[in-house]
C-alpha cells in the first residue's frame, strides 16, 4: 500500500476533510480565494493576428531554430497559410498534389511548433508532405456526369473500372455534400430537447451541494498545483528518457501528486467526476481558444512535458489575450503506460477544477474489458493493493461509463476518439444517447454506430501510393481491429460534415511509426492527433492541436467564430533524438579519423 490511508469518508461527508498537503508547499489556484497559477511555457502563446503580421520564413530554410536565451525561449512568429477544408471545388476535381490555399471556415497552419526535450531546442517547422494525405488528381470527374455513356474528352467505357469507380464516387460525393447542406438544420429534435431538460435538472440538484463541491474542488486544485510544480521540474531535467524508464524518488509520482493519502484522493476525484460528467451532455461543446490532446496511455512524463512546453492548463500564461483556454482530452488516458493512475488522477483533478473548460472524451480504452487486458487493472491491483485497488478501479469504471462520447469545438470541429464510422448518424442522434454506457451496451447491435465512434479508422487518401496495401480509399469497409469496427473513406467524412453543419473531424486512436503525431487527410476535413511519444516502440513524436479564432476582436469568437485556425504543437521523440545524436557522433568520429590520415 505504500503508506496509503483507508478512505473512511465519502464525497457527501467531505465537509470535515482535512488538507491533503502542506499549505506552505502547495500553490492553490483557480478560485477567487487563490492566486493565479503562473508557469510560463517554452512556446509562448501567439494570437492569429501576431501570426498574420509576421514575416514569412525563408523558403530555403526548412527549420527555424531558436537560440535559447532564458528559461522560456521565444518562438519566432510565423504566418498562417490558409488551408480551409476543401468542400466543393468548382471544377469538381478530387485531389491535387499540393494542398490548395483557400479561404474557409477552418485554416490549417502550414507550420507547427516543435520542442525537443533531449536538446532543449524549440523550433518552428513546416508541415511536410508526409503528413498531408491527398488523393491522386482526378481531372475527369468534372467532365463526367452520372448516367453519361461517353464524353468527348474521355468515354466512360474507355476508362478502367478502377478509374471509373473513382470518378463516379467524386461526382456522387459532390452531390451528397450539396444535398447534406440543403437538408442540414440546427433545429433540435424532441428527444434531444427532453434530454437537455433532464441534464439541466440534474445539474441544478448538484449545484445545491455547492458547499460540499467546494471542498472537493479545493482538493482537486491542490493536485493540479502539485502537477504544475512537477512539470516545472521535469522540463528542467537534464537530457531526456523514455516514459517507462522515468522514476521519481521519495515515494514516486503518486505521492508527489496526491500525497500519502493518494487512495483517498483518487476515490474522491473518481466519484466527483462521475457525478459531474453525468449531468453534462453526451456531446459537450468547447469554446476557443482550445487545445486538443490525443491518446496519452499512462505516459505521465510526456503529458507534463507538453504542459510545460506549450501551456499548463489554468495558468495565466496559457490564456490567449483575455480569452481562457479550453482543453479537450480525446480519449485513451490509461493502459500500456507506466503511470496510468497518475494520468487519470490528474485529468480528473483538472476536470473538477475547471468543469466548463476541461472536457474528457471517451476512448476505446475507457472500458473494463480493455483495461483488464492492457494493464490498468493490473496497475490498480499492484500499486493500491487488492482491496483498495479493486474499489478504486470500479470507481474509475463508473466514471468511464459516464464520459461524453464527443466534443464539438466552436460549432465547427467534432472531436471523437475513433471516427465517424459509416457516417449514417447525426449529432442529434448522439445527443439523445443515454448514459451510463457499459461495455456490453456499446457492443449491442443497436449502438454499433456509437461503438464505431470509439473504434473506427479513416482510410488515408493516398494509401495505395504510400504502401503496398490495395483496396478502395472511399466507402465503408471492415476493419482488422474487430468484427464490428469499420474503416471509412474521404467521401464518408465529407458527406457527414455537410449534413451536420461542421467543417472538420479531429480524431486520435492511431499512432504512426516515426510520425510527428499529426496527419491531415480527407480534403483537409480530418486530422489525426496522438500525444504519447514513442508509443509501443513506434519512435513517434507526441502532438496536440491548438485551435484559435483568427479574429480575436469578434465578440462571438469564443462560441461561434467565423474562422478558426488549427496549429500543431509537437513534442519530439526520445528515440528519434538519440538516433540523431548517434548518427551525429558517428559522423564526427569519421571526420576526425579522416583528418588524422
Residues with catalytic function: 365
- What are the cell numbers at 166? 473513382
Number of helices followed by number of strands (H, E) in the chain: 17, 18
Sign for the CA dihedral angle at 367, 373, 374, 376 comes to positive
Q: Phi/psi of residue 34, each to 5°?
A: -120, 145
DSSP states of 564-596 as a string?
A: EEEEEEEEPPHHHHHHHHHHHHHHHHHHHHHHH
H-run or E-run covering 204? helix 190-207
In this structure, the number of other CB atoms found within 10 A of the CB of residue 160 comes to: 8
H-run or E-run covering 192? helix 190-207
> Which among 521, 553, 547 is positioned nearest to 106, based on CA atoms?
547
Q: Return all residues near 581 (Cβ < 8 A) that are at least 6 apart.
A: 118
- What are the cell numbers at 217? 474542488
Q: Phi/psi of residue 568, each to 5°?
A: -80, 145
- What are the cell numbers at 291? 487545445
H-run or E-run covering 326? strand 326-329
| Secondary structure of residue 59 in the 3-state scheme | coil
8 A C-beta contact, residue 45 and residue 246: no
Query: DSSP code of 457?
Result: E
Q: Return all residues near 116 (Cβ < 8 A) that are at least 6 apart.
A: 122, 123, 572, 577
Three state DSSP letters for 465-504: HHCCCCCCCCCEEECCCCCCCEEECHHHHHHHHHHHCCCE
Q: Cell 510527428, residue?
A: 516
In this structure, the number of other CB atoms found within 10 A of the CB of residue 499 comes to: 22
8 A C-beta contact, residue 88 and residue 34: no
Separation of alpha carbons 181 and 75, rounded Å? 40
Amino acid at each position: 500500500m505504500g503508506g496509503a490511508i483507508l478512505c473512511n469518508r465519502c464525497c457527501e461527508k467531505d465537509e470535515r476533510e482535512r488538507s491533503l498537503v502542506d499549505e506552505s508547499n502547495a500553490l492553490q489556484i483557480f478560485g477567487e480565494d487563490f492566486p493565479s497559477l503562473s508557469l510560463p511555457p517554452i512556446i509562448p502563446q501567439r494570437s492569429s493576428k501576431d501570426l498574420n503580421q509576421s514575416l514569412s520564413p525563408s523558403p530555403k530554410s526548412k527549420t527555424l531554430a531558436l537560440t535559447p536565451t532564458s528559461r522560456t525561449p521565444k518562438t519566432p512568429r510565423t504566418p498562417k497559410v490558409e488551408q480551409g477544408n476543401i468542400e466543393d471545388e468548382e471544377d469538381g476535381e478530387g485531389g491535387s498534389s499540393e494542398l490548395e490555399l483557400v479561404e474557409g471556415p477552418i485554416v490549417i497552419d502550414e507550420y507547427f511548433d516543435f520542442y525537443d526535450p533531449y536538446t532543449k531546442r524549440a523550433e518552428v517547422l513546416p508541415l511536410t508532405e508526409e503528413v498531408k494525405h491527398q488523393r491522386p488528381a482526378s481531372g475527369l470527374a468534372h467532365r463526367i456526369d452520372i448516367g453519361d455513356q461517353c464524353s468527348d474528352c474521355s468515354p466512360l467505357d474507355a476508362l478502367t473500372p478502377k478509374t471509373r469507380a473513382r470518378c463516379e464516387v467524386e461526382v456522387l460525393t459532390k452531390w451528397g455534400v450539396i444535398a447534406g447542406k440543403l437538408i442540414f438544420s440546427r433545429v433540435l429534435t424532441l428527444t434531444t430537447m427532453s434530454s437537455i431538460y433532464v441534464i439541466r435538472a440534474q445539474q441544478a440538484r448538484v449545484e445545491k451541494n455547492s458547499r460540499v463541491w467546494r471542498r472537493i474542488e479545493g482538493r482537486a486544485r491542490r493536485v493540479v498545483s502539485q502537477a504544475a510544480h512537477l512539470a516545472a521540474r521535469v522540463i528542467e531535467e537534464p537530457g531526456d528518457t523514455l516514459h517507462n524508464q522515468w522514476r521519481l524518488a521519495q515515494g514516486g509520482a503518486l505521492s508527489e501528486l496526491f500525497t500519502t493519502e493518494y487512495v483517498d484522493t483518487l476515490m474522491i476525484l473518481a466519484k466527483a467526476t462521475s457525478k459531474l460528467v453525468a449531468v453534462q451532455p453526451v456531446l459537450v461543446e468547447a469554446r476557443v481558444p482550445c487545445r486538443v490532446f490525443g491518446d496519452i496511455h499512462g505516459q505521465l512524463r510526456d503529458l507534463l512535458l507538453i504542459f510545460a512546453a506549450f501551456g499548463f492548463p489554468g495558468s495565466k500564461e496559457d490564456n490567449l489575450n483575455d480569452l481562457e483556454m479550453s482543453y479537450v482530452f480525446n480519449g485513451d488516458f490509461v493502459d500500456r503506460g507506466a503511470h496510468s493512475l497518475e494520468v487519470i488522477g490528474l485529468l480528473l483533478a483538472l476536470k473538477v477544477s475547471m468543469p466548463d473548460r476541461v472536457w474528457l472524451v471517451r476512448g476505446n480504452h475507457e472500458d473494463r474489458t480493455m483495461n483488464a487486458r492492457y494493464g490498468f487493472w493490473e496497475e490498480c491491483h499492484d500499486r493500491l493493493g487488492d482491496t483498495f485497488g479493486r474499489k478504486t478501479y470500479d470507481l474509475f469504471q463508473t466514471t468511464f461509463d459516464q464520459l461524453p462520447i464527443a466534443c464539438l469545438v466552436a460549432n465547427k470541429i467534432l472531436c471523437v476518439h475513433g471516427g465517424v464510422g459509416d457516417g449514417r448518424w447525426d449529432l442529434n442522434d448522439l445527443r439523445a444517447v443515454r448514459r451510463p454506457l457499459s461495455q456490453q451496451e456499446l457492443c449491442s447491435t443497436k449502438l454499433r454506430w456509437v461503438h464505431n465512434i470509439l473504434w473506427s479508422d479513416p482510410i488515408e487518401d493516398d494509401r495505395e501510393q504510400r504502401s503496398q496495401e490495395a483496396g478502395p480509399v472511399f466507402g465503408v469497409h471492415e476493419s482488422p481491429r474487430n468484427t464490428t469496427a469499420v474503416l471509412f473513406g474521404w467521401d464518408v467524412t465529407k458527406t457527414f460534415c455537410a449534413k451536420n453543419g461542421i467543417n472538420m473531424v479531429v480524431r486520435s486512436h492511431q499512432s504512426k511509426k516515426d510520425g510527428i503525431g499529426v496527419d491531415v487527410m480527407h480534403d483537409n476535413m480530418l486530422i489525426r492527433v496522438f500525444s504519447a511519444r514513442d508509443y509501443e516502440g513506434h519512435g513517434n513524436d507526441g502532438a496536440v492541436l491548438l485551435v484559435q479564432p483568427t479574429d480575436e476582436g469578434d465578440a462571438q469568437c469564443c462560441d461561434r467564430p467565423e474562422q478558426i485556425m488549427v496549429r500543431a504543437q509537437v513534442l519530439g521523440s526520445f528515440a528519434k533524438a538519440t538516433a540523431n545524436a548517434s548518427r551525429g557522433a558517428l559522423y564526427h568520429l569519421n571526420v576526425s579519423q579522416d583528418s588524422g590520415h
